[in-house]
Amino acid sequence: MTNRTPIIAGNWKMHNTIAEAAALVSALAKAGNKNNAEIIVAPSYTALHIVTRLTKDTEIQVACQDIHWEDKGAFTSAISPIQAKDAGATLTLIGHSERRSVFGDTDEILNKKVAAALRHGLKVIFCVGETLQEREANKTMQVIEGQLKNGLANFTEEQLNGIIIAYEPVWAIGTGKTATPDQAQEVHAAIRAYLAKAYSDKFAQATRILYGGSVKDSNVDEIMAKPDVDGALVGGQSLIAEKFARIINFN
């Protein structure tokens, strides 16, 4: 770790009723934070309001799992950035691999979503990552650089100030497989090098890059020890208070 403030984020995906979300976040509020990390949870839309209310006087920040690129309109089942903010979210995930692969979000769509988030002052956690086939074909950085270039096209360094990048190898999400700490460090360093080339070294050094992909209480210490890993985007274990608390309080 460097002097960049670490981030530990939990993506709850399509889990938890309102009552379950409330119980989980209430437990997390008592978990401690020895690393002074930024703690973020991304509940389902139905629980955004209650989670925001329960975290009001805590260190926990609340993110939306996705937003639409329009402020309002005939977009059944979508949530606008205005609605996300109204429910209390201050951040949003954009480009999660499940949005790309299951829901068909293209780089062009994600670019419009980033624009919408920035327009309304929502901080962006922008997700990138390669499939197993792409990794085996040695196309990891080709894929990731394309996702960054296209997804963040037409924004200035100033506009992107504060953006968070999350590297999530698709082959390691929900599979129990995890990139080794060295593999994570290699890709994180390459992402930082790309940001320096595309923007500036100052921007690259300030931007926090999270690792996501089967992060567990049993492997978080090794992952977080790498110099270009600034945090974790946690899936399954963010749903278990004691395990997520251990991840927040990594060694």
Active site residues: 96, 168
Contact residues for 127 (Cβ-Cβ < 8 A; gap 6+) = 93, 94, 95, 96, 97, 165, 166, 167, 168, 212, 233
